[in-house]
Amino acid sequence: MATQLKKIIKEDGSGDYTTLAACMADNEQNLVTANKYLDIEIAGTWLARDPTPVVIENYTTDITRYINIYTTQTARHNGKAAAVSGRNSYRLILTEQAGGTAGIRISSAYVRVTGLEISNYDDDTSFKTLHGIKADNPTNLKAQISRNIIHHCYSGATGSSNGVGISIARENYVYDNIIYAIDRNGIAEIAGYGSNIIIYNNTVYDFNWTASATARGIYVSGNNSNTNIKNNLVIEGTNNEGQCYQIGSGTVATNGSSDATGSVGLQGLTSSEFINAGAGTEDLHLAAGATSIDAGTDLGAGDWAIDIDGRNRHTEGDVWDLGADERLTGAAAYPTSALKKGLVGGYTCFMNAYLNAKVAALIPLKLPDGTVF
C-alpha cells in the first residue's frame, strides 16, 4: 500500500512552503517507485494572493500514487471569490503574465485540484491566451478538477483563454466548479481524441468577456468519445455572442443555458438564476426560485455529489439542481462554513472509472475522519 507524502503550504511561513509553485517544483519525483501519494494541503489564512504560476510536471504517478492538491476549511473559499466574500482564503491570482501561461498547468497524470480560487488576467491591449487550469501532454491524463472558483482569465484584447482547458487526454473529470469572466471558453476539451470525459454540475457565466463570436461556455470537440455532460448551468454575460454549448458527441442531459443550446425546457435562462451576477460582486449560488433548482439528473454517489460548498446532494438534497451549487428547500442559500466538516482533503482520490456512457466503478473516497463514500 502506498504511503502518504504530505506537504503544507501556508502564507505565514509555518508550513513547508509559502507558494504552491515552489512546492510542485521542489518535489518532482517518481511516486510509483517511491510507492507514495502526494497530498498538498493549502492551509491557514491568506492576507495576500499567491502570485506565481504553477507547473506540475516530471512526476510519475498512477491511480494509487497520485497528486492531490486541496485547501483546508480555513483556506478554502465559500463559493465566492475572496474579493467578494471578504474571507482571507487562498487565491492564486496572476497578473501580466506571458501569453500561454496558466494559473495551474498540469503536465503529469493523476492530479486532483480541489477547492482553489484561480484568476489570470492582463488588462493591456495585446492578444494573449491566459488560462485558469490547463491540462495537457500525457495520453492518459486523468485530471480531476473540482469545486474551484476560476474567474477573470483574459487579456485586454480578444484572446483565446479557457477557464479549464484539457488537450489530447483521457479520463478527465471536471465538476462542481464556478467559472466566470473568461474571454473564450469556460471549459474546453480541445484537440480531440480524448475519451471517458465527465463534465458535471459546473456553473459557467460571462464566458465571452471580450465579445468573441467563437466563445463557448462548454466546448467538447467531435473527436472525443464517451463524453458525459450533465447538470451544467451556462449563462452568457453582457456580450451575448458565441454559444453556451458546442458538443461534438457524447451523452448530454439536463443542461441549462441562456441560448437555445441547452436541454429542452432549460433554455433561455438569465443571470437572475444567481444571487448576484454584478461585476465585482458575483455570488453565483442559486437564487431562491431559480429554474435550475431541482432541474437536474441524479448522478449517484460519486464525488461530484458534493457541491461547491460541501453539501452532499446524494444524502442531503431532494432533486439535484443545475450548476455547482445545491440549494436545499428551506435551507440557507449556502452553509456558513467554507466547507462542511470532513471534506478538507486527504482523499484516496482517483476514480477507476472506465466509462461507457456512465461510470462503471469507483475507488471509494476516504476522508481524513475515516468516512468512506
3-state SS, residue 141: coil
Model confidence over 139-196: pLDDT tens digits?
Answer: 678 899 999 999 999 887 666 889 999 876 678 899 999 999 998 899 987 655 566 7
Of 43, 35, 39, nearest to 68 by C-alpha is: 39
Quote the pLDDT of residue 248: 80
CA 113 – CA 164 distance, rounded (Å): 12
Binned at pLDDT 50, 70 and 90, residue 129 comes out as confident
Q: Contact 188/216 with Cβ under 8 angstroms?
A: yes
Q: Contact 40/32 with Cβ under 8 angstroms?
A: no
Quote the pLDDT of residue 333: 53
CA 219 – CA 214 distance, rounded (Å): 10
Model confidence over 254-304: pLDDT tens digits?
Answer: 999 999 999 999 999 999 999 999 999 999 999 999 999 999 999 998 899
Count of CA atoms in the C-beta half-sphere (13 A) of 362? 15
3-state SS, residue 25: helix
CATH 2.160.20 applies to domain 3-316 = yes
Q: Contact 130/120 with Cβ under 8 angstroms?
A: yes
The percent of residues above 90 in pLDDT, for the chain, comes to 62
Residue 352 has pLDDT above 50, yes or no: no
Binned at pLDDT 50, 70 and 90, residue 215 comes out as confident
The residue ranges of every structural domain in the chain are 3-316
Q: HEC states along 257-325?
A: ECCCCCCCCCCCCCHHHEEECCCCCCEEEECCCCCCCCCCCCCCCCHHHECCCCCEHHHHCCCCCCCCC
Residue 367 has pLDDT above 50, yes or no: no
Binned at pLDDT 50, 70 and 90, residue 242 comes out as confident
The mean of the pLDDT values for the chain is 84
Of 133, 149, 122, 170, nearest to 56 by C-alpha is: 133
Residues 6+ apart with CB under 8 A from 346: 4, 39, 41, 68, 70, 366, 367, 368
Model confidence over 42-64: pLDDT tens digits?
Answer: 999 999 999 999 999 999 999 99
Quote the pLDDT of residue 190: 65
Quote the pLDDT of residue 338: 36
Grid coordinates belonging to 168: 489530447
Quote the pLDDT of residue 249: 75
Count of CA atoms in the C-beta half-sphere (13 A) of 305? 16
Residue 115 has pLDDT above 90, yes or no: yes
